[in-house]
Structure 1
Amino acid sequence: MPAILAIALAALALSLIMTLAWLAVTRGAKSGWIDATWSFATGGAGVMLALAPVAWPADPARQWLVAGLAAAWSLRLGVHIAVRTARGGDDPRYAALRREWGDSWRSELFKFLQIQAAAALLLAVTIFLAARNPAAGLTWTDALGALILLGAVAGEALADGQLKRFRDNPDNKGSVCDTGLWGLSRHPNYFFQWLGWTGYAVIAIGAEGGYPWGWAALAGPAFMYWILVYASGIPPLEAHMLRERGDAYRAYQRRVNAFWPGPQRDQ
């Protein structure tokens, strides 16, 4: 199978899956299911592309390593969002978009989710490029990339767990979580989300750096950084937190970095 055909099939599958998510939400499902669906779909497309029988040289051990890493990331994040959605209310980011879009929210949401499908394809291709590094045998860059990605998955899970425990404590109602990793970054889960994609780039580029397509895998972490820091990640979430927490969140913004972990500043 030509690689371009496998990528085209992944693109079609992602578009159809996000269309199904759109149908569910327009018929009353919680908008949080969108992100759970996206997480599972992105990981699934990445696994499929990593293992697809395409005419592209690759080491089978690396293919399975990358596919396993993609599956671990996807399942951890997807299950976390699914559980959170099942237990909670509507996602405030999508609720804000619906208010902004007004009567045309259905058509605007459809376009938005197709953009998400395109973003998922770019990330799945990043996984594909890592899996298809043609170097024979696993090398130290495969181990480093795997450690980065597994560390990022663990870090994101730790951040999510700390936030959940904070919110589950009734004494913290109306307060801003600034303990643990949340005292080093206002969005440690987003930081670790971005960090994981650098792991695929390390595997794709390899020890010698002689695989030209491997350098293209840097598009994955670059795109994830942009979308988290400047687009659909931090900006709408912080706008929601400012509405909900007001001056307490403004004080938190002054003390703690938005994305990169670091020591708190004096106010």
Structure 2
Amino acid sequence: MDNHSLLSLIVYSVIACCVIMALVWLWSYKIKNAGVVDIFWSYNFPVIAIILLIFAPGFETRKYLICGMAILGGLRLGTHLATRVLKHLYEEEPRYAHIRKEWGANAEQKMFGFFQMQAISNVLLAIPFFISVMNPDPQISVLEHAAVVLWAISVVGEATADKQLSNFKKDPTNKGKVCDTGLWHYSRHPNYFFEWLMWVSYFVFALASPYGILAVISPAIILYLLLKVTGIPTTEQQSLRSKPEAYKKYQENTSVFIPWFKTK
């Protein structure tokens, strides 16, 4: 097994993710559905993890732990999104259709740039993985064990929230209603919360390695994106467009993000 420098690992990852996203853009152009980008944004993390698992020089057990977490987490989310998107493959999700409409005549060129930025974001967010797999220390620390437990909680929590929402939408009697059962009774976005918690677990894992504090950038970016950019704002805007009265009432009775904390 070859050992490679951190820079070469980053370069391999950037090339792999950018090529994948270029191919996904071609597919999205053909089917006129940019929603497929979400699937492969999730799947790109297992791709990076496999590159690190093969080429990184760190302690093998540590590599298997962090890369295994990244692979399983990315595959679970990506497959969940694929199941959702493939049901209406030739019908673009409203939030992407809205973006496409705003971009006008240059929408496809901008979409290509957007897809490439998603690829770059994959590598940037993978900082905890890069830091951890370079660590040669043969001792797995308490922090790393705690991070694995936190990661497991986040995966189960996110999967539970996704399943509850999926079951709610499958019931035809719920058409036009807002899911407010299970975890969704306590938070408008429990899936986003547990996704962010997963990135916190990667950060905690990286803290056991040299320069691990730098990994805080990943959960910080995810939190910013979820709260201010492509997560909660676009989701809530679409919900308010599709079911304004029901969603406004739902907003009044639930927390926006963290379950059980009424932070509007």
Q: TM-score, normalised by structure 2?
A: 0.93
CA distance, structure 2, for counterparts of residue 213 and residue 242 of structure 1: 43
SS of the residue corresponding to residue 205 of structure 2 reads helix
Q: Which amino acid aligns with 1:226?
A: Y
* Further displaced range: 82-91 or 72-81: 82-91
Partner of 1:188: 190
Partner of 1:43: 46
State whether residues 6 and 134 of structure 2, in contact with CA within 8 Å, keep that contact through their aligned partners in structure 1: no
* Further displaced range: 137-146 or 215-224: 137-146
Say whether residues 1:79 and 2:82 are aligned partners. Answer: no
> How far apart are 1:264 and its partner, in Å?
5.9
State whether residues 6 and 130 of structure 2, in contact with CA within 8 Å, keep that contact through their aligned partners in structure 1: no
CA distance, structure 1, for counterparts of residue 70 and residue 42 of structure 2: 10
1:151 to 145, 150, 153: 153
CA distance, structure 1, for counterparts of residue 251 and residue 158 of structure 2: 20
State whether residues 197 and 220 of structure 1, in contact with CA within 8 Å, keep that contact through their aligned partners in structure 2: yes
**Unmatched segments (≥5 aa) in structure 2:** none
> How do 1:135-174 and structure 2 match up within 5 A?
135-174=137-176
Partner of 1:130: 132
> How far apart are 1:133 and its partner, in Å?
3.5
**Unmatched segments (≥5 aa) in structure 1:** none
Partner of 2:122: 120
> How do 1:1-267 and structure 2 match up within 5 A?
1-28=4-31, 30-49=33-52, 51-54=53-56, 58-88=58-88, 89-206=91-208, 211-262=209-260
> How far apart are 1:154 and its partner, in Å?
1.0
CA distance, structure 1, for counterparts of residue 182 and residue 82 of structure 2: 24
> How far apart are 1:202 and its partner, in Å?
0.9
CA distance, structure 2, for counterparts of residue 131 and residue 200 of structure 1: 12
Q: Which amino acid aligns with 2:23?
A: L
> How far apart are 1:102 and its partner, in Å?
1.0
Q: Which amino acid aligns with 1:218?
A: V
Q: Which amino acid aligns with 2:77?
A: L
1:199-250 alpha-carbon deviations (Å, 9 max, x no partner): 11111112xxxx4421111111111111111111111111100000101101
> How far apart are 1:123 and its partner, in Å?
1.7
CA change 1:19–1:164 in 2 (3 A) is same
CA distance, structure 2, for counterparts of residue 133 and residue 26 of structure 1: 41
1:82-114 alpha-carbon deviations (Å, 9 max, x no partner): 111111342222111101111110011111111
Q: Which amino acid aligns with 1:224?
A: I
CA distance, structure 2, for counterparts of residue 171 and residue 40 of structure 1: 34
State whether residues 186 and 253 of structure 1, in contact with CA within 8 Å, keep that contact through their aligned partners in structure 2: yes
State whether residues 130 and 217 of structure 1, in contact with CA within 8 Å, keep that contact through their aligned partners in structure 2: no
SS of the residue corresponding to residue 174 of structure 1 reads coil
* Further displaced range: 252-261 or 155-164: 252-261
- How many pairs are equivalent? 259
> How far apart are 1:136 and its partner, in Å?
2.5
Deviation beyond 4 Å, 4+ runs, structure 1: none
- Percent identity over the alignment is 37
State whether residues 132 and 204 of structure 1, in contact with CA within 8 Å, keep that contact through their aligned partners in structure 2: no
Q: Which amino acid aligns with 1:258?
A: V
CA change 1:24–1:31 in 2 (3 A) is same
CA change 1:150–1:47 in 2 (3 A) is farther
CA distance, structure 2, for counterparts of residue 221 and residue 263 of structure 1: 20
